Amino acid sequence: MSKPDENIESIEQAVTLLEEDLKIEPGFLIKLNDEDDWSFVIKSHAFLEAALSHLISEALSEAALHDVFANIETSNNKSGKLAFIKALDLLDDEARRFIRALSELRNSLVHDIGQVGFSFEDYVASLEKQQKANFVRSFGYFANGENFELGGQSVSTKEFMLKSPKRGTWFSVMALCSVIYLAKGNVKVRKILASLQVDIEAGPNLDT
């Protein structure tokens, strides 16, 4: 069972550090929860795109590639950001599923001006049974299970996501951004270990 109440401070700290890395005004993600639903989706996705580009360029040790990756489609499984994320083993299946789902939703909104009045609640209400299950599975990323703890009580992820889809999606965006920040740290550890492995394989320097 996931426990956002216990992790919220560390999540907010990681998110703040990620905002700092991306040179974005502190509190950007926190304030997104106050946006209308259409703006929330567009801005959340834009932030995640920037974060993913940053993560990939860090993993490849090429900061100069950030702008290149920024212009690559996110959800394409063969040539998009998610293809690189998977190939480099930077984020797990659940994280990639959420990113893909949010990206698909964003694309459906941004290419149709008639969607500016988009409502999460109306959107969820329009879904068929299996589509609702898929929505909960993808957008309920933060919960990592059938239940999570909120306000000291166990809450059904399914019920929460169907009743408060925007808030649940915001939880998932926050959780994912903290995971991305931690993934950056893992990248640095990998580089150190790889360097040590090279030194070990090279053997001792007998000239010193």
Average pLDDT, the chain: 84
Beta strand 153-156 pairing with 147-150: antiparallel
- What is the Rg, in whole angstroms, of the alpha carbon atoms belonging to the chain? 19
Greater confidence, 11 or 128? 128
* Predicted local confidence at residue 126, as pLDDT: 97
For 83-107, what is the mean pLDDT? 94
Using CB atoms within 10 Å of the CB of residue 174, give its burial: 0 to 12 exposed, 13 to 18 middle, 19+ buried.
buried
Distance (Å, rounded) from C-alpha 46 to C-alpha 37? 14
- Tell which residue, 13, 56, 5, has the closest CA to residue 177: 13
Per-residue confidence (pLDDT) for residue 66, from 0 to 100: 66
Structure tokens at 156: 């059904």
Predicted local distance difference test score (pLDDT) of residue 64: 62
12 confidence band (pLDDT: 50, 70, 90): confident
pLDDT value of residue 207: 55
Which pLDDT score, from 0 to 100, does residue 78 have? 77
Query: In this predicted structure, what is the pLDDT of residue 5?
Result: 43
103, 21 contact by CB (below 8 A): no
- d(Cα 206, Cα 39) in Å, to the nearest integer? 62
Percent of the chain with pLDDT over 70: 81
What pLDDT does residue 73 have?
A: 78
The string of pLDDT tens digits covering residues 17-68 is 999 999 999 999 999 999 999 999 999 999 999 999 989 988 887 666 667 7
Per-residue model confidence as pLDDT tens digits over 102-150: 999 999 999 888 889 999 999 999 999 999 999 999 999 999 889 998 8
- Domain locations along the chain: 4-202
